[in-house]
Structures are given as C-alpha cells and as structure tokens.
Homo-oligomer: A and B are copies of this chain.
Amino acid sequence: MGYGNLARGVECAVLSSGDMALRAVFTRRDPAVVRTRSGAPVVEAARAGEYGDEIDVMVLCGGSASDLPEQTPRAAAMFDVVDSFDTHALIEEHFHRVDEAARGGGHAALIACGWDPGLFSMQRMLSAAVLPRGRDYTFWGRGVSQGHSDAVRRVPGVRDARQYTVPVRKAVDAVRAGKDPELTVRQKHTRECYVVPEEGADLGAIREAIVSMPHYFSDYDTTVKFITAEEMERDHRGMPHGGFVIRSGVTGMEGEHRQLIEYSLKLDSNPEFTGSVLAACARAVYRKRREGAVGCFTMADVTLAELSEKTGKKLRALL
C-alpha cells in the first residue's frame, strides 16, 4: 500500500526473496501514472478490498503522521498486515487500535517494523533480558533525517535542504568505555543542514530560523551550510543512515564485572534496508497467522525462525 521510497525498498526485498511474490501495488494516485520497478500491477487503493483472496500479507508503506494511524487498522480488518509505524510515543495507542481491528477481522498484524523501532527494539529487549542491571544508549546517524529535512525546506527562502543527524563521538566513546554517562540531547547528537537558498534570500535569516526552530533544532548544536543545487544533486542524493544501540551492564555478586553489548547499522540506503526488514516481517506475520495467531504483534513476539526463509535444519547450521 503506497509507492514511495519505502515501498520501492519492500519491492526490491520481495524480489530477492525466494518465497515471496509481489501481487499488486495499491496507490491513492491515478494508477495509470504509477510505474513499478518490477512491473507489478498498480491498483487504486480503494479497490484493495477486492484482493482479500489473492494477498497473503498487505505491507503498509505510508507515513506514521497521518497515513498509518488510519490505514493500518482499516487494512488489518481485511488482511494480515505489516507496518512501520515509528512514532514511539504513540505505539501503545496504535497497538490497541490495530489489535481490535485485527481481532475483529480474524487477522494478524505486526506493527512498528523497521530498524528503529524494529531491529533496534529487538536489541534493546534482548540486551535488557540478558543484562537486567544496566542501561541503554541509542545513537542515530550519521544519516539523513527525512522529517528534519522537510522542516528545513519549510523555512522561507529555502529551495531545497538535506539534514544529517550526527552522533557525538565523545559521547559514544564514553559509553563504549563503560562510563555510563548521563547525556543531554545536545551531548548525544549534532545536526548538519545543507541548504540551497532561493536567489536573493537572506542567508542570515534562514540560518537563524533553522537553529532556533523548537523541537527540531533548538535543543541541538546545529550547523547550516549553503550550497548550490548542483552540489545538492552531486553530494546529497543518497539516503544513508545508521546508528547503534549499546547496553552497558554489570554482572557478579557485587556488580563487579562490566558487560557491553553493541548493535550497529551502517546503511547506504535507509528505505531499502527498512523495506528489507518489512519483507522479513511479512513472512513472519504470514507464518503466525497460519499457526492460528490473531491480533496485533510486535517484534517482541516473533521468532527468528518465523522471520527467516530458511528451514529449521538450515537455521541450526547457523547456530
């Protein structure tokens, strides 16, 4: 459902899996103007209900702000579904709405899939289960934040913009050294903005509007660099991202031994990687449903065998 960057990432992942096929792409646009990379048929979103018998899993590729809160419950009443809902603070509410809809329709839903929430969530849960005495640190970047780039683009005088979230090396080093630092928002990440201004725009005013923007930038050390449209196209076309989750914990009768777990991602393409996670999650929700599961689930509820294309015996070879 949807055919933006994330959906194209899912499409790629489905094509490189041996056990999945892409049956259709649903869009709210005119299907005649949407052309899929794989040649999969494009269908009006309003006609999705006609595909109940043909589709095992519907992968919802909309945004968390306005699409998914409404799309996922509606789809879960008709299909087994997967989404990448990522507004952390609203996950519990979304979970209950999707759960009710899925139970009503006798379907299974797996929400908040991707890498954060998603793989990073799995690591936070796993590390906390193994090291109950400890604390978690999550750093993001260096990578492009879509939401922050959009916020900069809305500043008057800005023609185009790209925002990179950058973890602060000193903070990361202190965590890795097991120092368990208390870190403010400002101490964990910096923000770098690359801005193509409109001709004759007041650069000082643009800079000031960005760095003082509440929620997005005012709590961070933000740098603003003005570049040309050519430089934007040449140097900032990609959508790299990444980050790491670190659990710093202790074991021993007196907590005398430090144990450090780190999980890190270095991604050349954020939407393609997120799409790959969604594809594996589609497999998992399909299998859960075939085992009789109904309702809403998260990454806390799936097994690696459910996520994997491999058989039990082949998985045991990976042990």
Q: Measuring CB to CB, which residues of chain A are less than 8 angstroms from any residue of chain B?
A: 9, 12-13, 15-18, 37, 88, 91-92, 95, 112, 117, 119, 121-126, 128-133, 251-253, 257-269, 272-273, 275-277, 280, 283, 298-305, 307-310, 312-313, 315-319
Contact = CB atoms under 8 A, between A and B. Distances in A.
Contacts of A92: 313, 316-317
B122 A304 contact: yes
A267 B18 CA distance: 38
B12 A252 contact: yes
A257 B268 contact: yes
Given A253-B12, A265-B259, A318 B119 contact: no
Nearest to A94: B316
A122 to B, nearest CB: 6
Identical chains in the assembly: 2
A39 to B, nearest CB: 12
Contacts of A266: 259-260, 262
Contacts of A267: 257, 259-260
Contacts of A315: 125, 298, 300
B277 A268 contact: no
A132 B132 CA distance: 32
Nearest to A317: B92
7 contacts: A13-B251, A112-B319, A125-B307, A257-B267, A259-B268, A259-B276, A260-B265
Contact of A319 (B257, B264, B298, B304): B298
Contacts of A126: 119, 122, 304, 307
Nearest to A124: B318
A307 B131 CA distance: 11
Of A12, A95, A133, A315, chain B has the most CB atoms within 10 Å of the CB of A315
Given A9-B251, A12-B253, A128-B318, A300 B312 contact: yes
A300 B309 contact: no
Given A126-B307, A132-B17, A298 B272 contact: no
Given A258-B268, A259-B269, A91 B310 contact: no
B265 A264 contact: no
B272 A318 contact: no
Nearest to A176: B266
Contacts of A95: 316
A305 to B, nearest CB: 4
A261 B263 CA distance: 8
Contacts of A37: 253
